[in-house]
Amino acid sequence: MKQRLLLLTACAGSFLLGAFITNDDPMKPLTAEMVDVASKVFGLEFTPAERDSMLGNLNNARTNYEALRKIDLPNDVAPALYFNPLPAGFTMPAGPSSFKASPAGKVSLPKNQDELAFFTVGQLGELIRTKQITSVELTQFFLNRLKTYDPKLHCVITLTEELAMSQAKRADAELKAGKYRGPLHGIPYGAKDLLAKKGYKTTWGAMPYKDQTLDLDATVVKRLEEAGAVLCGKMTLGALAMGDVWFGGMTRNPWSTTAGSSGSSAGSASSVSAGLLPFAIGTETLGSIVSPSTVCGTTGLRPTFGRVSRHGAMALSWSMDKIGPITRSVEDCALVFNAIYGPDGHDPTVMAAPFRYTPLTTLKGTRIGYVKKAFESNYPNRANDSLTLQTLRNLGAELVPFDLPTGVPAGRISFLLTVEAAASFDELTRSGRDDLMVRQGKNAWPNSFRSARFVPAVEYIQANRARTKLINEMAGQLKAAKIDVYVSPAYAGGNLTITNLTGHPCVVLPNGFTKQNLPTSITFMGQLFEEGKVLAVAKAYQDATEWHKKHPSLQ
């Protein structure tokens, strides 16, 4: 293997040091001078005697590392330490789940069937349930749109046409026989290509893995199949879940096809925005549902950490990865989430908690927090966000000023993500195959992975301890404000970073357009495991607007 760097760790994990070593003799004994140079990387200083005393421990540790690197640790092997987002004294929601969708009303097949491209999941489901259209017809319709517009948008990695038609035929046969699986029965969808599907490539969007196949179905894919949904494609993601650039190019924004669709759930958001699919599955570690949904004008749900199993999904950060739907409407998010949440026996971080969703007929008297400092700051989308607050007031909501916790600077501990990602792709770095990645800049994964090797183990643990403090402070702020839901700018004010670290659920939805006719978004936040409440409030707001009904014109 290509030896690039050496991690030097004191016995019992007292501290971690890193120093470059030469390729000609990687096992050359360490010297006190090497320790002196390495310690300066971390802002530490040791006396000559202390450095000399460390050498035995550090040389022994290096031998341990060499032995450790011979152990096969594929991406799906998680650390023995699991992240727990629950603050001290937290009581898990109890009782049964309940789900009540909005009345379907009368849904008719449009004379111009191209209009089906922008029907919601609920509307399409009603057309199938009432047998106005078959799943085969609907699936072929969306497959044709994917084939037509993917050359412009670059949002598909693998079209799963044979599988889709097989699943659609099964859906139609079951409906004919009187078996109806529910609102996703026969509905086409796409899955971000970090989710495994047996018989198809799972490329993670990255050149080193472009021919990879995994012999399993991700739990999310399996559960959607059990709900009757039809998998039409594996959608693009920025390589190894960063950005919108993958080994096939850059995924485009349907509202401006010269620009990217953001990431990393690039293809999922782009395809739904363009009407190529009714819904798609995305993932978020630090903005990968919020950001592409904002850029593409879609609606997305980032669930509570520990709500949806990540079995069969690429691991980027074991303590931050979350899986959720990207759709056209809030209620579509609820319909999809209702099919995918809950323990599966494979992902030990998933907790059992009920999902209760009932649409609100009014927001009158509802206490909704708003991040006052963020909304009052100077940021690009302030005008549209201010109108969102006014809409909520007009709907009868009581807006309560809310402050995010400030005791822990979230941005200073977000390196937790990069360290875990570097561990996830340790072999990629050590083998030198990271040279195959398309993006090679200072902020791209290859350099981030290498740099993360120099994060001391003690600082990684300390950052996690600070994260515990952040979690408890967040719980205290929510309790003091006496709110279950609050609204925040999608980016301003630090909410995105804080809540990805604390694991809180988020609904992102369009709330207007820029002067350049590009979508903007707002986020509704909820208490841990209370997706039902935040979805209901977000739906009430969305029902009072028309932004989610706008769609790009693809020529």
Q: What is the domain-level CATH number for residue 489?
A: 3.90.1300.10
Q: Cα–Cα distance between 259 and 255 in angstroms, integer? A: 9
215 lies in some domain = yes
Does residue 55 sit in the same domain as residue 130?
no
pLDDT higher than 60, residue 288: yes
- Whether the CA torsion 211, 216, 220, 221 is positive or negative: it is positive
Is 424 a residue of the active site?
no
386-405 residue pLDDT tens:
999 999 999 999 999 999 99
Give one word for 22, left, alpha or beta, with left for phi > 0 and alpha for psi -120 to 50.
Answer: beta
Q: What is the amino acid identity at position 499?
A: T
Asked whether residue 129 falls in the same domain as residue 43, the answer is no
Same domain, 64 and 129: no
Q: Is 422 within the bounds of a domain?
A: no
Q: How many domains does the chain have?
A: 2
Please tell me the distance from the alpha carbon of residue 199 to that of residue 213, in angstroms, as a whole number. 7
Is 529 among the domain residues? Answer: yes
Residue bearing the bigger pLDDT, 305 or 18: 305
Does the active-site annotation cover 271? no
205 assigned to some structural domain: yes
Q: Does residue 204 surpass a pLDDT of 80?
A: yes
Take residue 315 and report the two structure tokens written for it. 């691991």
Kindly state the percentage of the chain with pLDDT values over 90.
94
Active site residue 264: yes
pLDDT of 27 > 90? The answer is no
pLDDT, residue 517, reads 97
Question: Range with the lowest mean pLDDT among 26-30, 213-217, 366-370, 420-424?
Answer: 26-30
pLDDT at residue 26 in the model: 64
d(CA 229, CA 231): 7
- The reported pLDDT for the residue numbered 339 is 98
Same domain assignment for residues 253 and 373: yes
Question: Nearest-CA neighbor of 388 among 400, 377, 375?
Answer: 375
- Return the pLDDT at 17: 39
Catalytic site residue from 39, 288, 309, 317: 288
Q: Are strands 398-402 and 356-357 parallel, antiparallel or unpaired?
A: unpaired
Active-site residue identified among 264, 271, 273, 291:
264
pLDDT, tens digit (0-9, with 9 covering 90-100), for 416-431 = 999 999 999 999 999 9
Per-residue pLDDT at 12:
31
- Pairing, β 519-526 against β 485-489: antiparallel
Task: Give the global pTM.
Answer: 0.95
| CA atoms within a 13 Å half-sphere pointing along the CA-CB vector of 422 | 19
Asked if the structure places residue 233 within a domain, the reply is yes
The answer to whether position 94 is within a domain reads no
Cα distance from N-terminal residue to C-terminal residue, the chain: 49
How confident is the model at residue 104, as a pLDDT? Answer: 87
List 39, 135, 192, 262, catalytic entry = 192
Range of weakest confidence among 4-18, 292-306, 506-520, 534-548: 4-18
Residues 189 and 323 in one domain: yes
Residue 22 confidence class, pLDDT cut points 50, 70, 90: very low
Q: Where does a domain end: 71, 92, 125?
A: 71
Task: Let me know whether 1 and 125 are in one domain.
Answer: no
- Does residue 154 belong to any structural domain of this protein? yes
Assess whether 47 and 120 both reside in one domain: no
Average pLDDT of span 491-510: 98
Looking at the fold, whether 235 and 288 belong to one and the same domain comes out as yes
Question: 202 and 61 in one domain?
Answer: no
Per-residue pLDDT for 2 more than 70?
no
pLDDT beyond 70 at 21: no
Last residue of a domain, one of 16, 39, 71: 71
- pLDDT, one tens digit per residue, over 90-105 is 999 999 999 999 998 9
User: Domain boundary residue among 56, 71, 86?
Assistant: 71
Please say if the pLDDT value at position 11 is more than 50.
no
Report how far apart, in Å, the C-alpha atoms of 528 and of each of 222, 341, 474, 524, 531 are: 25, 14, 11, 13, 8
Cα–Cα distance list, 468 to 47, 83, 93 (Å): 34, 10, 21
Residues 4 and 144 in one domain: no
pLDDT on residue 486: 98
**What mean pLDDT is reported for the chain?**
95
Query: What letters, b where the CB count within 10 A reaches 16 and e where it falls short, cover 458-479?
Result: bbbeebeebbeebbbbbbebbe
Q: How many CA atoms lie within 13 A of 188 on its CB side?
A: 39
Q: What domain range includes position 47? A: 1-71
12 and 125 co-located in one domain? no
pLDDT of residue 440: 97
* Average pLDDT, integer, range 171-199: 98
Residue 555, domain member (yes or no): no
Which contiguous run of DSSP H or E holds residue 524? strand 519-526
Kindly state whether residues 44 and 149 are assigned to the same domain: no
